[in-house]
Amino acid sequence: MSIKLGVLGAGLAVEQLHWPALQQLSTEFTITAICDQSLQAAEHIAKVVGGTPRITTSWSDLLNDPQVEAVLVSLPIHLNADAIRACVRAGKHVLCEKPLAANLPQAEALVAEMSSAPVVIEIAENFHYRDDFKQARQWMDAGRIGQVVAITIQAQFWSDTSAGFAATPWRQDHQYRGAVIADAGVHHAAALRELGGEIEQLHAFTKDVHPVLAGADTMVLNVRFQSGVLGQLIFAGAVQAPDPTFDSITVLGSAGSITLREGTARLLRPEHEPETYTAHDPAGYVGEFRNFYHAITAQQPVVASLAETLADWRVIMRALDSAEGREVVLL
């Protein structure tokens, strides 16, 4: 069974992130329609994906199309909640890019409203599908590094506003809370929770460094997990780092450590040879689409559900509260 997929929003994420994954699932999904307010953008994505998808500039046109069974939403963040509601009202399954809403109250209202939705709703938080995280968690749970003490994540990169994602107008003039920390840092909130479990308290500091992007782009976030493990995220989205990285992660234990970077996990222990695991789906995009497919066709539970990704979003939103209020926040 091939699911007829409509694409709402024909931007960089569809071309660079979603389409490469969908190409590996050609028997599971067929793109039948593409919608964007820019006819040129829609036509470009149509050429990229091939076939004969219907092109439109109207949301309602796409959502009323009987040849669309499910919708991939890839819109500016501040439109996500409304797009999810529109898809559900139209009876379409929906896979929406992260985060699920523009701020925390909007996200909480959406989750409450959609609690009994008759369709599949998944948020495209690919970090919840990363195989290297799963491997690291297996090593941790098996006691391979002894008692887990701390988890650290470092993201250091330059947000290039002349090309790529940071050049997108809605990212430069954002209508959602948190600027680049919200847009990109929500991935790291998911990573912290995948590796460390639920967070019980946090404390954060932020800075606005970038000369073009408005809003905070640098954050130091300290967390304490419910397990007692400590964690830290150093997010620097406006630096010219000698070794730029988006996801350099270290799990420190009493008997060893685990490092993760770009899909590769390494287990390091004194007097043992290092063990290396390389993920087949390093970014998790194939996994998120495969989960969407099986949730629709076989009622498989959604991993990156509204509730799960609300928890990620709460970490980032409450971190901003902490920085602004200069206080420790309990979750």
**Predicted confidence (pLDDT) per residue in 45-100, tens digit:** 999 999 999 999 999 999 999 999 999 999 999 999 999 999 999 999 999 999 99
Distances (CA, A) of 120 to 29, 67, 71, 80, 236: 15, 17, 10, 16, 35
Q: What is the pLDDT of residues 183-208, one digit of tens each?
A: 999 999 999 999 999 999 999 999 99
Predicted local distance difference test score (pLDDT) of residue 33: 98
Q: What is the mean pLDDT of each run of 10 residues along the chain (331 residues)?
A: 97 97 98 98 97 97 98 98 98 98 98 97 98 98 98 97 90 92 97 98 97 94 98 97 95 98 97 97 97 98 98 98 98 96
Query: Which residues are paired to 232 by β-bridges?
Result: 152, 222
pLDDT number for residue 214: 87
DSSP conformation class of 158: B
- The distance between the two most distant Cα atoms of the chain, rounded to a whole number of Å, is 63
With CA atoms as reference, report the closest residue to 180 among 203, 160, 204, 154.
Answer: 160
Q: For residues 153 and 149, what is the distance between their CA atoms, to the nearest angstrom?
A: 14
DSSP assignment of 82-105: HHHHHHHHTT-EEEEESPSSSSHH
Say how many CA atoms lie within 13 Å of 173 toward its Cβ. Answer: 1
Check residue 48 and give its pLDDT.
97
Token pair, residue 37, equals: 């307010």
pLDDT at residue 47, rounded to an integer: 97
Residue type, 287: G
Residues contacting residue 311 through CB under 8 Å, at least 6 positions apart: 193, 198
Instruction: Give the pLDDT of residue 173.
Output: 86
- Walk me through the domains of the chain, giving residue ranges and CATH numbers: 3-126+285-305 (3.40.50.720), 128-280+313-330 (3.30.360.10)
